[in-house]
Amino acid sequence: MEGAFKGFGQKAIPFLKALDFHQSREWFLENRDLFERELREPFGDLVETLTERFAAAGLGLRGDRKKSLFRINRDVRFAKDKRPYNRHLSAILSPDGTKMEQGVFYAHIGLEGCFAGVAWWQPGAVLLLAMRRAIATQPDKFRAMVKALKKNGLELDTEGCMKRTPRGFEHVTDAGLVAAIRNRHFVVRHAIDPAGIHGPALVDELVDFTLRARPLLDWGRAIEGRALAG
């Protein structure tokens, strides 16, 4: 199909390294064509190719090259670090194609690593409470989801979890459930070999990962549906 993902350019990572070194608007503008050709346009192709593949697989995730990509520019208004440019480029595919939804696919190509994730990331207070209550009141469903992920070679990320059990869940004593209730996010990740970003096989790799992460999507969507209905 026209616009099918063929791979990121060979200079994609070198461009990010040079941009990180210069951190200069003048340098970026001089090299903008390189950015568009090696990184941004291929990322747009990746988003739209994945949208078609995700639709065919019934994953309920979509995006487009205009809405899904994050800006390379950093928001420095309230940051101590005033460097104007990110060290990565990233994108989200979501149920409605915007960046405002939960239960998303995220792809990240950068100097700190290349990876993908399926995530309920910083869900709002109502949804996060509903997820925690689901863990406490329907532990078998949560354990089945975790078991299915493990069978698929994935496990929930524990980064950023609370040190103490949130109020209202003190009665939960099972160590595994307590650890899950302390999560602020529900995320699984897939490391991408930077050497593998330059060809179309990356699409199959990311579709395979997202299918393996489907138990997390299904678990969260069922809870979200009840929370919104309530």
Q: Of 185, 40, 52, which Cα lies nearest the Cα of 117?
A: 185
Q: Of 141, 126, 139, which Cα lies nearest the Cα of 173?
A: 139
Range of the domain at 200: 12-229
pLDDT at 219: 98
Does residue 133 belong to any structural domain of this protein? yes
pLDDT tens, 107-153? 999 999 999 999 999 999 999 999 999 999 999 999 999 999 999 99
Does residue 21 belong to any structural domain of this protein? yes
What is the pTM assigned to this prediction?
Answer: 0.95
Does residue 91 belong to any structural domain of this protein? yes
Q: Count CB neighbours of 18 within 10 A.
A: 14
The pLDDT confidence band at residue 2, using thresholds 50, 70 and 90, is low
Segment 203-217 mean pLDDT: 98
Residue 224: CATH number of its domain? 3.30.930
Q: Tokens 């060809």 correspond to what residue? A: 199
Q: Domains in the chain: how many in total? A: 1
